[in-house]
Structure 1
């Protein structure tokens, strides 16, 4: 199986990649700042569940479809962009609504878990990234290739949970202080709407 140095190198690289600014960690921080650290942690669990889907897609060879088929890639990315625009519209409508009011309207934490899953799964670039990144650390002599991909995917998910969890706690604490004012609530919601719209535009314009 894997040499410890290989796993250490992979885990370190995964931590650094999770820290690099990207749609997922920006999404986590935005949700945590507006709705609290618990929501941010639940969104993180959803995003990591999405990574399980991408890992499985690479292990089973499905991810290659998004690399070779422009139609499949575009359908998935436009679905993700549309969802982000929907979230942007929801943030605009929220106005000065308090986090407690918003959470009651959102019908519980499970909705945010599903939001994290959908946010991650509808980004085909994650599958393509995994398709390029994970196999670099696999070797024939290490054994069954899909099992190797599964182990590496699990380590990447662990690194993501650590980094995104820390970001959720930081943004949640910061947001708690900022949300004391209705004017700040309004500003936070408008900022979130702008972030979601920007992420939607970036995803819609992205290529393979």
Structure 2
């Protein structure tokens, strides 16, 4: 299994990725504001199923990759660090868009809400890159089954993201109003997020390759 220190660091990375603006957050916030909490929760369940699809695809792929090309870790390590730096820049760049700028969406039936949440996440490049570039930094054949470690990390990421997004769904109207009235806090939050993501990127780039 993944060592505790690595697991905690991964959970922190998953948290900061979850709170950065992206298609899932914008869609869930917009849906909750336009159609209510129930619609937001149904959409979120679809998002969770999309996460499961990403997780199993990454777990199977990483297992095959570590068995066939152990040195691929180095390439994925730098890809992961670059991705975190990209997210850090997205958080602090001039004119960065707040995820609390909701879109106007029409009312949809429950089945469509679920499917929209599923496909929004399944086709979300932010999540795909996260699974493919960040996972390998915390997986090592020396700690047992690569597949089992990937599932452990995937479930951690899903739980973290679910909690963040559920909080957004349940308090969408309050959050949108509060952030609209607190632009300075929102700007400060972006810079704190960017700093932490950049620090994680540096830490991952300095990590030594793990061997069996």
Q: Which segments of structure 1 move beyond 6 Å, counting only runs of 4 or more? A: none
In the TM superposition, what is the alpha-carbon distance from 1:47 to its structure 2 partner? 0.9
In the TM superposition, what is the alpha-carbon distance from 1:112 to its structure 2 partner? 1.0
In the TM superposition, what is the alpha-carbon distance from 1:127 to its structure 2 partner? 2.0
**Residues 174, 36 of structure 1: alpha-carbon distance in 2 compared, 3 angstrom cutoff:** farther
1:28 matches 2:23: no
**Residues 35, 113 of structure 1: alpha-carbon distance in 2 compared, 3 angstrom cutoff:** same
TM-score, normalisation: structure 2: 0.59
In the TM superposition, what is the alpha-carbon distance from 1:5 to its structure 2 partner? 1.8
Q: Which residue of 1 aligns with 2:14?
A: 14
Q: Which residue of 1 aligns with 2:70?
A: none
In the TM superposition, what is the alpha-carbon distance from 1:7 to its structure 2 partner? 1.4
Structure 2, unmatched stretches of 5+, are 66-102, 177-212
TM-score, normalisation: structure 1: 0.60
The answer to whether the 8 Å contact 1:33/1:171 transfers is yes
1:126 matches 2:127: yes
1:164 matches 2:139: no
Report the Cα distance in structure 1 between the residues aligned to 2:152 and 2:31, rounded to whole angstroms. Answer: 29
Report the Cα distance in structure 2 between the residues aligned to 1:8 and 1:124, rounded to whole angstroms. Answer: 24
Structure 1, unmatched stretches of 5+, are 65-87, 95-101, 176-208
Note the alpha carbon deviations across 1:65-113, whole angstroms, 9 max, x for none. xxxxxxxxxxxxxxxxxxxxxxx8x94xx5xxxxxxx3xxx33x23211
**Residues 139, 48 of structure 1: alpha-carbon distance in 2 compared, 3 angstrom cutoff:** same
Q: Which residue of 1 aligns with 2:52?
A: 52
Deviating more after overlay: 152-161 vs 136-145 = 136-145
Q: Which residue of 1 aligns with 2:111?
A: 110
Report the Cα distance in structure 2 between the residues aligned to 1:43 and 1:139, rounded to whole angstroms. Answer: 34
Report the Cα distance in structure 2 between the residues aligned to 1:49 and 1:112, rounded to whole angstroms. Answer: 13
Note the alpha carbon deviations across 1:166-206, whole angstroms, 9 max, x for none. 0101115578xxxxxxxxxxxxxxxxxxxxxxxxxxxxxxx
Q: CA RMSD in A?
A: 2.5
Greater helix content: 1
The answer to whether the 8 Å contact 2:46/2:118 transfers is yes
